[in-house]
């Protein structure tokens, strides 16, 4: 039996082929139980609930995985967005790549914001007789007190009120299993459910029947040890010794299949009737961004595609919708942009200009109410989320009985 969906299959057939060929993640039953209780709690409260997906998915090269393919996503978009959804009164299921950025703790985690840099030992009191002790309390440095208090209060509020459920995944297959289950469990929410798919999902994977069980070997093994070490046939991993190569090392050739597009199934099967589905489209070529976002919207018939370019994603995004105005840019005003090492400000406006055939309308949007100023500038999610909440409100109004 084939383990990879083929292009001629219907989305439903592709779904059963894919999910029948992978074991569900070990943590799925536990996550389902947590999610069921969480959804139930917020259905009772008639609260809106958003599923935020965040971070990159891995593509393992071996069943007993030593090596895998990954992508750049740190989970910033997802973690920051989750905070603004909570601020807007939503409950949040945060389906994230394990060890990527998390709402609230992202302010003090990873190497760029190491929590140790925010702390100090309490100074020795400036009084006579005071001596250096080995047990001085640890305190937050005075310059960070206000910001940390603010973050801590919001974090505590979310925890105390059971507003944030954190569920981790690592591989593409774990992500897909979790997404399917969560969407189905969210059905009782009806139009109060929102899907915000910011995770950077792999487009390619190795189907299970071509996956090596053990670590792929980089050199030839003697005959009696090579059984079962590599996949059958040389489809993915070819490594024939080439005559001119003096070393005994192999070349690794990886042959990946496309990951079936499950957005169809999410919109048309898994997600609750009346719910809102928002996907992201990431491109690097400004010429392609709007076209690709429009194509995705047409293909999956959902409600909103948020397009972003790798180099400008912290300063501008485009909302592509089925209804007018069809294409709307949201930008952080120039004077309030954080300076990102990885970004390229010169590219802001390019994707819009390429479509319009002239210069972009530029720095018009952004900077309205709801935004938040930090020493690093305005976070674009503070502009995205309120806009999205308005669109969601409109959808809910359309679905509620007159
Ligand atoms: C995005 O486009 C996100 O905004 C980013 C955020 C991944 C760029 P960071 O985590 O980056 O803040 O560093 N996510 C969606 C990318 C994606 O895989 N989309 C799929 C596609 O383009 C459709 S769901 O085909």
Domain 14-111+138-209+256-356+377-399: what homologous superfamily?
Answer: CoaB-like (3.40.50.10300)
For the CA of 75, the nearest atom of ligand 1: 10
Q: 288 pLDDT band (50/70/90 cuts)?
A: very high
End-to-end CA distance of the chain: 51
Other beta carbons within 10 angstroms of residue 335's beta carbon come to 9
201 close to ligand 1 (CB < 6 Angstrom): yes
For 396, residues 6+ apart whose C-beta sits below 8 A from its C-beta are: 48, 191, 192, 274
Mean pLDDT, residues 337-363 taken together: 76
Residue 201 to residues 189, 204, 223, 261, 279, Cα–Cα distance (Å): 25, 9, 39, 10, 11
Cβ atoms of residues 237 and 252 within 8 Å: yes
- Distance in Å, CA 322 to ligand 1 centroid: 20
51 pLDDT exceeds 60? yes
Least confident interval from 8-17, 46-55, 107-116, 256-265: 8-17
Q: Taking all residues of the chain, what is their mean pLDDT, rounded to a whole number? A: 89
Q: Is 308 in the pocket of ligand 1 (CB under 6 A)?
A: yes
User: Mutate which of 79, 99, 103, 201 to test ligand 1's pocket (most atoms within 8 Å of Cβ)?
Assistant: 201
Residue 75, ligand 1, Cβ within 6 A: yes
Encoded tokens for 109: 């985690």
Whether residue 197 has its Cβ less than 6 Å from ligand 1: yes
Which amino acid residue places its CA nearest to atom 6 of ligand 1?
Answer: 77
Judge if the beta carbon of residue 92 lies within 6 A of ligand 1: no
Examine residue 325 and say whether the peptide bond preceding it is cis (omega within 30 degrees of 0). yes
- Determine the pLDDT at residue 238: 34
User: CB count, 10 Å around CB of 109?
Assistant: 16
Confidence of residue 371 (pLDDT cuts 50, 70, 90): very low
Question: What's the length of the chain?
Answer: 402
Q: Is the pLDDT of residue 133 over 80?
A: no
> Rounded to an integer, what distance in angstroms lies between the CA atom of residue 316 and that of residue 329?
7
| Distance in Å, CA 280 to ligand 1 centroid | 5
For ligand 1, is residue 198 a contact (CB within 6 Å)? Answer: yes
Is the alpha carbon torsion for 222, 228, 230, 231 positive or negative? positive
Burial of 386 (0-12, 13-18, 19+ CB in 10 A): middle
Residues of the chain above pLDDT 70, percent: 88
pLDDT band at 361 (very low <50, low <70, confident <90, very high): low
Taking residues 247-254, what's their average pLDDT?
78
As a whole number, mean pLDDT of residues 172-192 equals 98
List the domain boundaries for the chain.
14-111+138-209+256-356+377-399
- Say if CB 86 and CB 231 are below 8 A apart: no
Residue nearest atom 16 in ligand 1 by C-alpha distance? 200
pLDDT digits (tens, 9 = 90+) for 220-246: 778 788 765 544 444 444 334 445 555
Residue 203 has pLDDT above 80, yes or no: yes
Tell me which residue has tokens 């609930």.
49
pLDDT, position 402: 65
Nearest to 253 by CA among 214, 222, 203, 218: 218
Which of 17-31, 134-148, 314-328, 370-384 is least confident?
370-384
Helices (H), 286-369: 289-300, 350-356
pTM for this structure?
0.90
Of 55, 70, 196, 281, the one to substitute when testing ligand 1's pocket (max ligand atoms within 8 A of C-beta) is 281
pLDDT of 9? 86
């Amino acid at each position: 039996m084939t383990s990879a969906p083929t292009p001629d299959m219907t989305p439903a057939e592709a779904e059963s082929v894919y999910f029948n060929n992978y074991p569900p993640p070990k943590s799925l039953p536990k996550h389902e139980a947590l999610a069921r209780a969480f959804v139930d709690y917020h259905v009772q409260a008639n609260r809106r609930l958003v599923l935020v997906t965040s971070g990159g998915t891995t593509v393992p090269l071996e069943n007993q995985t030593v090596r895998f393919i990954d992508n750049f996503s740190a989970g910033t978009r997802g973690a920051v967005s989750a905070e603004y959804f909570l601020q807007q009164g939503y409950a949040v299921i945060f389906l994230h790549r394990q060890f990527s950025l998390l709402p609230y703790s992202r302010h003090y985690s990873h190497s760029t914001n190491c929590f140790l840099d925010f702390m100090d030992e309490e100074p020795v009191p400036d009084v006579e007789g005071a001596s250096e002790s080995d047990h001085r309390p640890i305190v937050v440095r005075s310059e960070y007190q206000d910001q940390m208090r603010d973050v801590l209060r919001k974090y505590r509020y979310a925890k105390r009120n059971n507003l944030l459920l954190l569920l981790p995944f690592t591989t593409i297959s774990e992500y897909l299993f979790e997404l399917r289950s969560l969407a189905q469990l969210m059905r009782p929410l009806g139009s109060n459910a929102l899907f915000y798919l910011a995770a950077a999902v792999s487009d390619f994977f190795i189907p299970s029947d071509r996956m090596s069980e053990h670590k792929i070997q980089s050199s030839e093994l003697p005959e009696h040890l090579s059984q079962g070490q590599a996949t059958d046939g040389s489809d993915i991993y070819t490594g024939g010794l080439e005559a001119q190569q003096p070393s005994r090392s192999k070349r690794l050739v990886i042959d990946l299949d496309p990951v079936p597009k499950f957005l169809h199934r999410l919109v048309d099967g898994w997600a609750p009737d009346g719910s809102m589905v928002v996907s992201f489209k990431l491109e690097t070529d400004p010429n392609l961004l709007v076209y690709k976002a429009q194509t995705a919207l047409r293909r999956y018939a959902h409600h909103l595609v948020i397009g972003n370019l790798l180099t400008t994603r912290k300063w501008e995004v485009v909302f592509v919708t089925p209804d007018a105005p069809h294409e709307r840019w949201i930008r952080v005003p120039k004077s309030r942009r954080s300076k990102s090492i990885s970004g390229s400000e010169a590219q802001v406006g390019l994707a819009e200009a390429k479509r319009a055939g002239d210069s972009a309308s530029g720095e018009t949007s952004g900077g309205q109410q709801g935004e938040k100023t930090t020493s690093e500038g305005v976070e674009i999610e503070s502009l995205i989320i309120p806009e999205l909440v308005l669109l969601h409100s409109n959808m809910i109004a359309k679905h509620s009985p007159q």
